[in-house]
Amino acid sequence: MLHSNGQKQIQISAQQEKIYKDADARETLIVYDGTPSGAFLLSQIDDALKQITYKRLMVKPTVLVMVSVTDPMEIQLVLDRVKEIKSVFLESVNWITAHIACCMYTESKVFLEDVCNGAELIPEYNDVISSCSIPTYQKELERVLKEKCLQMIANSLSISKCMVPDDADDLGRLAIDQLCLGRGGSLSALVTVLDKRDDFMLIRPLCDVSKKEISIYNHLCGIDEHCIPIAQTKIETKSVQSLTDSFIRTLENEKFYSTINTVLSTASKIHNTNSSKEGSRCLLCFVETADTLCKTCLAIQRACTGDKIGRFVR
């Protein structure tokens, strides 16, 4: 049942939101980040493309493996594992592996197969991240740069749609984080299925599926083995994000399981009413704002030494 639910979810999100209305814009980046949710999304897209009984999902996927580990040995390990996973899911489509440091590219790039694109920019990327002295802003900067990276890669490949494996738990936490960071007015776009930007669209088909549902499905369908530790694990410093995480965990331990759902359904109804009419957006995080940078991004810029953010804002 879960199986068809997941597929239906993707199908329904795609139809309701009319994401795929014109025939020539079906090319979609499918982001695989090595997490259980990433593996689940791959399996769902793979199934949906093969589907003959239920209405077939009309997308033309390109899988983007997003790497954030920095050790060359670990990156090689990811490339090896990707080869194995590719033989199970979406074998016939293009796969591209790219490091999150691709956000540092200033112009379109040709992306090669079977290498970790952008790995040469890791030192430069680390330099930007470590220039930020406040842990909360540092984490937020990482999130914003990850979106920049997705957009950069999508633009280079001339693809305008990008499906990310963010699940309900990820987005519920993000909603609380963003409230604390002062982006409350833009919450809806950040945590719902569709996030339309000028020439780029983020799609979150798993926004109603919880980590728990995904882990049960993955376990029952043997998808567990298709997860890779791609993300850099760091020593956790106290930040708004880590506090949100422990807050949600505490509530769950106390059996308040519906917190995430409540937060998400409330957040999806919050829209910015006094944003600029022309729809101008923050150059860094893309939320609607009348200024070049939103207040949160200004604060991030101030927390970074040596104007390392300037390159993204020009």
Q: Which residues bind Zn ion (CB under 5 A)?
A: 282, 284-285, 294, 297
Lookup: tokens for 278: 């022309």
Which of 137, 217 has the CB closer to Zn ion? 137
Which of 140, 167 has the CB closer to Zn ion? 140
Measured from the CB of residue 164, what is the shortest distance to Zn ion in angstroms? 18
Which of 81, 148 has the CB closer to Zn ion? 148
DSSP state of 57: P
Report CA-CA distances (Å) from 117 to 49, 113, 120, 224, 290.
27, 8, 8, 26, 35
Instruction: State the residue for tokens 């860094």.
Output: 284
Q: For residue 36, give the amino acid letter.
A: P
Measured from the CB of residue 82, what is the shortest distance to Zn ion in angstroms? 32
Measured from the CB of residue 197, what is the shortest distance to Zn ion in angstroms? 12
CA dihedral in degrees (151, 155, 157, 159; nearest 10)?
A: 80
Which of 211, 295 has the CB closer to Zn ion? 295
Measured from the CB of residue 183, what is the shortest distance to Zn ion in angstroms? 7
Nearest to 205 by CA among 161, 174, 144: 161
Instruction: State the residue for tokens 């879960």.
Output: 2
| Helix, strand or coil, per DSSP, at residue 86 | helix
**E-only strand ranges, the chain:** 27-32, 60-67, 94-99, 116-117, 161-163, 194-197, 200-203
Which of 159, 189 has the CB closer to Zn ion? 189
Measured from the CB of residue 171, what is the shortest distance to Zn ion in angstroms? 18
